[in-house]
Structure 1
Amino acid sequence: GETLTQGTVGAVAVDGKRDLAAATSTGGMTNKMAGRVGDSPVVGAGTYAKNGTVAASATGAGEVFLRGAATATISDLIEFGGRDLAGAVYEVLVERLPRLGGTGGVIALNAQGVFDAPHSSEGMLHGYLTEDGRLVTKVFADESPANR
């Protein structure tokens, strides 16, 4: 089975001017091939932020996130495909990446403060702070109402 915690830590944020930011850090895969570069430090794969579309940080099968340009594709679906945040992240994480041979999850935030955290893996530990100061933490999507 898949582990729920994969050693990746990500953050997404929007400020008062509606500027977006994303960051991702990971310990990588245990017993990885020497010289392997994962998706976390690669802009457009494990991490991406573009004002007007999305701030996204990913975790999961790094090679698949690289091949699928996962986080940049989310942004492109919003910018060029006219998709909303939830539709774009769902398409990439649940439809596209598993067809490339891997699973994972993403935390994503847009300039309007809409947050989503879809995952094709079994679960993904994540949390968010609402504008009114409420802190929400979850592992599974159906644990509590989404922040939408």
Structure 2
Amino acid sequence: MDDADANPQPEGSENRKKQLEMTKGTDNAYALAKKYHIKTVWGTDCLFDAKLATRQGAQLAKLTRWYTPYEILKMATSTNAELLAMSGPRNPYPHPLGVIVEGAYADLLIVDGSPIENIKLVENPEKNFLVIMKNGIVYKNTL
């Protein structure tokens, strides 16, 4: 697998063998989740690494190996919101997430194109995200 974020290990090394085993496990886990209709969510700890944080959209887009763009976008938005809501008093968000309803957090992206048709648009938010709104505050508007 060609993966710029995978930190490839030297061929033939013990760490490389472990890396390949983990990759096979990931393939298997996603295949089983899809087969048995288990909801999956998406998250990353890349925000704690400035270099990797800029690749967050690219990491999301790589899920096309297992999911359709629609499934990926749903996983990263409304299904993640469902999971957080299930955490009860530990849920850090007092208002609904991942939905467009009155009282929900007003988080919105307007993308130059359709990420359902081309998920790679999320790889370059600087170029492709025309409007970024978080909690009702517009942080970017190039319309």
TM-score of the two chains, using structure 1 as the length reference:
0.28
The structure having more radius of gyration, on CA atoms, is: 2
TM-score of the two chains, using structure 2 as the length reference:
0.28
Higher RCO, Cα 8 Å, sep 6+: 1
